[in-house]
Structure 1
Amino acid sequence: MKHKLLSATIIATSLFTGVVSAADYTLKFGHLANDDNVWNEAALHFQKTVEEKSDGRIEVLVYPNSELGSEMDIINSIQLGTVDLTISGESLQNWAPKAALLAIPYAIRNSEHLTAVANGDVGKEIEEQITQQAGLVPLTWFERGARNLTSNKPIKTPKDLNGTILRVPNVPIFVKVWEALGAKPTPMAFSEVFTSLQQGTIHAQENPLSLINSASFFEVQDYVNKTEHVRSWIYVVMGKRQLDKLPKDLQTVVREAAAETQVYERELFLEDERKLSEVLHEKGMKFVDVDQEAFRKVALPAVRNSLNQDQLLLFEKIQKL
């Protein structure tokens, strides 16, 4: 049944910009990525697709660059109803513990495995908990760049790590895994990493190629060791209350636009990863093929010991795929 409010044009006003729109519904989409990031390009594609498919009945306002606050701020705003959509990943474990599986070391082997996990029963189980416990509906997912280890010496096996002081984010499972692999992991704010590498306080760090490049680590590190120790994905999520308030036909528009956006973002992501490899090569970094299976074998006991029972059950399901 057509929403009775649609009998006349409704003026939708953004709480954040004061913009007045003739659309029936205005959706606010805030995220952390900068204007040039593939996630923002994907958000703009989603915006265009929703507006076209809805014949202008939905307007989407995109706010990149943390304009609406931190990731946690935006999620809280969605739960309060003042924002509608964002892009979020393992941070969702603050509400839904199973979301930790979005970025667990050595859970995912490659892109094909990731697709099977995210699109399969494990992905559905994670998504259901996110919706039930965070009030957010995952509309689609994007693959993230694999995390790799940079250093000033080639590291091909775990024994090459002995004595290496390695910066890690302040995540307990990262500390335990790298300790098991023989390194000396040191939690440190990302903003301190470049200077610490430059001064020799730390010897190595691990991050996706995009951050290795944007943080100019090529100036203080010689090697990208292709550990690919974390392969992860991230969701475009929408508040469940906000989605449910839309008429059924417009809910379909939003979901179809999200599915099309995943295909669009995938092409951008693969091209971006290829370009990043080229850029880092050009800037002098050498890429080292690593015995990934040797790393995985040593790391897995530490991974399993870091997971709670529900997370471990999901992890084992992933390993069997």
Structure 2
Amino acid sequence: MKFTKFATTCALALGVMSSTALAETTLKLATVAPLSSPWGQWAQGVAKKIEEESGGEMKIEVIGDAQLGDEQTILRQGMKGRVDLVLVSNIPLSLIGQEMDLVSSPFLYDSVEQGSCVAFNHLSEILGPSLREARLEPLTWMEVGNYIVFSKDEARTPSALEGRKVRVAATTADELFARKIGAVGVPMGTSDTIPALQTGNVEAAFLPGVFGIAIGTHKVAPNVTVSNHTRLIGTVAVSQRSYNKLSDQEKEWLSAFTEGGAALSAAVLGAEGALLGKLEGAGLPVARLSDEESAEWRASADGLREELAEQLGPKAVSILEQINAAKVACGS
């Protein structure tokens, strides 16, 4: 009898342990961002918050440093449900639909504040349907930062790049802008940029400030122009295949990514200013533009958004109208 009671007690204990193990949900988040970068640190911070708030019932495993491939590969894996969450920049979003390139239009916003307002208060409503068609559920919009110019020779104005080969991202918006300013846009990945500058295949590069400085672009193209001509916004999204398996409580825990998006934006934009200050402190030529020079950059993109939307089709035209309405709602 005593043995039977003991066996029953053990079985119950094992059952409790088994149900506890089954109750734990672990999701994998993939990104190319280094774990030590602002994006990697932010993702790990949100993962820690979720684990704490859930009492260990939900865990997010952050897999960074491009361990699961480049951004296009990671995005495809998310769309197919092979990874649970993706943290990607705007560059691969055209895999979902070319209309997504509109969020990379030069001088899309009138101010930093307006851009942040549109991104965090309106963009999920505007671009959410496209993401959901691709079997992704957007959680937040990820700050990538502002495009600046790294060049071998001084390039304070867009006219200074006329006829010169400039590295651009492989997006319709980037390529169109290069043509508008008379530059020869050379689409390439970020890993190819520094070798291309070293060999002379390109003479300048458009890159996000934090990323461009972090990889040392200024060492081969030391003239830095703070053009801030494009605000790059990516996404953190969860695979619908994974999302549909979650309980309401688990979805609520996952909303920590949504709530934390603005903090990441502030961190990235703050890092931009700090890194540019370090370059100046080291004696590198960092061009802070005058009002006249800034006006020339902005004028170079006149009509580009409308031309891009028309080129990309009716869906893009509708999205641009929604973005413009969101800008009005946010104010300047």
- The TM-score normalised by the length of structure 1 is 0.83
Q: Give identity over the alignment, percent.
A: 23
**What is the identity, as a one-letter code, of the residue corresponding to 2:59?**
E
SS across alignment from 2:149: strand
User: Bigger CA drift: 210-219 or 227-236?
Assistant: 210-219
Going from structure 1 to structure 2, the CA distance change for 1:153 and 1:87 (only over 3 Å counts) comes to: same
Contact 1:221 1:285 survives alignment (8 Å):
no
Contact 1:143 1:233 survives alignment (8 Å):
yes
Unaligned runs of 5+ in 1: 1-6, 13-20
Alignment of 1:32-181 (within 5 A): 32-90=32-90, 91-131=92-132, 133-181=133-181
Unaligned runs of 5+ in 2: 1-14, 328-332
Going from structure 1 to structure 2, the CA distance change for 1:272 and 1:68 (only over 3 Å counts) comes to: same
Which protein has the larger Cα radius of gyration, Structure 1 or Structure 2?
2
Distance 1:125 1:10 in 2: 43
Distance 2:72 2:192 in 1: 22
Map of 2:315 onto structure 1 = 310
Contact 1:23 1:59 survives alignment (8 Å):
no
Distance 1:77 1:168 in 2: 25
Residue deviations 1:283-312, cap 9 Å, x none? Answer: 432222332332222323344323323223
Map of 1:228 onto structure 2 = 228
Following TM superposition, by how much is the alpha carbon of 1:23 offset from its aligned partner in structure 2, in angstroms? 4.8
Larger helix proportion, structure 1 or 2?
2
Distance 1:165 1:82 in 2: 38
Task: Say whether residues 1:282 and 2:284 are aligned partners.
Answer: no
- Count of aligned pairs: 305
Contact 2:143 2:264 survives alignment (8 Å):
no
SS across alignment from 2:50: helix
Contact 1:107 1:318 survives alignment (8 Å):
no
Going from structure 1 to structure 2, the CA distance change for 1:222 and 1:88 (only over 3 Å counts) comes to: closer
Following TM superposition, by how much is the alpha carbon of 1:94 offset from its aligned partner in structure 2, in angstroms? 1.6
Following TM superposition, by how much is the alpha carbon of 1:67 offset from its aligned partner in structure 2, in angstroms? 1.9
SS across alignment from 1:28: strand
Distance 2:295 2:67 in 1: 41
Contact 1:139 1:258 survives alignment (8 Å):
yes
**What is the identity, as a one-letter code, of the residue corresponding to 2:83?**
V
Following TM superposition, by how much is the alpha carbon of 1:107 offset from its aligned partner in structure 2, in angstroms? 1.6
Distance 2:144 2:44 in 1: 18
**What is the identity, as a one-letter code, of the residue corresponding to 1:284?**
G
Distance 1:267 1:254 in 2: 21
Residue deviations 1:55-90, cap 9 Å, x none? Answer: 111122111112223323333333443321111243
SS across alignment from 2:221: coil
Going from structure 1 to structure 2, the CA distance change for 1:260 and 1:96 (only over 3 Å counts) comes to: same
**What is the identity, as a one-letter code, of the residue corresponding to 2:215?**
A
Distance 2:158 2:266 in 1: 34
User: Bigger CA drift: 102-111 or 55-64?
Assistant: 102-111
**What is the identity, as a one-letter code, of the residue corresponding to 1:155?**
A
Going from structure 1 to structure 2, the CA distance change for 1:129 and 1:187 (only over 3 Å counts) comes to: closer
Distance 2:262 2:18 in 1: 32
- The TM-score normalised by the length of structure 2 is 0.81
Map of 1:4 onto structure 2 = none
Going from structure 1 to structure 2, the CA distance change for 1:22 and 1:286 (only over 3 Å counts) comes to: farther
Following TM superposition, by how much is the alpha carbon of 1:45 offset from its aligned partner in structure 2, in angstroms? 1.1
Following TM superposition, by how much is the alpha carbon of 1:8 offset from its aligned partner in structure 2, in angstroms? 5.0
Distance 1:184 1:244 in 2: 46
Contact 2:148 2:226 survives alignment (8 Å):
yes
Following TM superposition, by how much is the alpha carbon of 1:138 offset from its aligned partner in structure 2, in angstroms? 1.0
Residue deviations 1:101-156, cap 9 Å, x none? Answer: 3322222333212122213445412023211x111111112222100112244333
RMSD, aligned α-carbons: 2.6
Alignment of 1:202-281 (within 5 A): 202-255=202-255, 257-281=256-280
Contact 1:47 1:60 survives alignment (8 Å):
yes
Following TM superposition, by how much is the alpha carbon of 1:44 offset from its aligned partner in structure 2, in angstroms? 0.8
Map of 1:296 onto structure 2 = 298
SS across alignment from 2:83: coil
